[in-house]
Amino acid sequence: MRTVEAEPYAFEFDPATTALVIIDMQRDFVLPGGFGEKLGNDTSLLLAAVEPTHRVLTKARETGMFVIHTREGHRPDLSDCPPAKLDRGAPSMRIGDPGAFGRILIRGEYGHDIIDELQPLPGEEVIDKPGKGAFYATDLSEILEKSGIRRLIVTGVTTEVCVHTTVREANDRGYECLVLADCVGSYFPEFQRVGLQMIAAQGGIFGWVAPSPDVITAIQE
Ligand code: TIU
């Protein structure tokens, strides 16, 4: 077991049964000009998570940890997008509409894919999910069970949306989740701060939070 200082108390993990989960680091959320920015958001806070996440990913790959990437998106015919999700947002910026990087959040489009810096390697799992959480309508549970994974080290965007939803889903399924504070990003600074606090409050109500350099050290011990 490795131990890393975390909020609300030390997180213990065995790298052999722990997966690194990188949530939705897709061009349309992260890059200037994409869907996220078009919705009125500043993507710089998301871009800040790229370098630290790349360092964690590199260490995970070096040490043979299980790596999972997720992407939020839908089939080209939108048959897996509930009308309630489709109808939301500005009329000119709906899922499936043409955007700067192709049809917005549609599988196979350039903007739907993961940014160059964090592209998956062959053999790493890529979970395509229609919802905010990575467990809903995916085979993530089966993959984790089959691989003997018990804990998740979680990075990605956005902190209070897809990261929170996924960590809450994972916690309810019995997985212990450590969220890396500098490897997750929100468009809203206050949501980043409070979002992280919410995870670790009440004795770690649904997870732990730690800075990535400490976790990298623990992984390579
Ligand atoms: N991946 C993810 O968080 N999807 C979102 O829609 N996030 C927003 O903050 N909009």
pLDDT digits (tens, 9 = 90+) for 163-174: 999 999 999 999
pTM surpassing 0.95?
yes
Ligand 1: residue of 115, 158, 191 to mutate (most ligand atoms within 8 A of CB) is 158
Q: What is the DSSP string of 128-156?
A: EESSSSSSTTSSHHHHHHHHT--EEEEEE
Tell me the two tokens of residue 26.
């897709």
pLDDT digits (tens, 9 = 90+) for 178-215: 999 999 999 999 999 999 999 999 999 999 999 999 99
Across the chain, what does the average pLDDT equal? Answer: 96
Over 70: is that where the pLDDT of 91 sits?
no
Q: How many whole angstroms from 108 Cα to the centroid of ligand 1?
A: 18
- What are the pocket residues of ligand 1 if the criterion is a CB atom closer than 6 Å to any ligand atom? 24, 29, 72, 132, 157-158, 161-162, 187
pLDDT digits (tens, 9 = 90+) for 142-162: 999 999 999 999 999 999 999
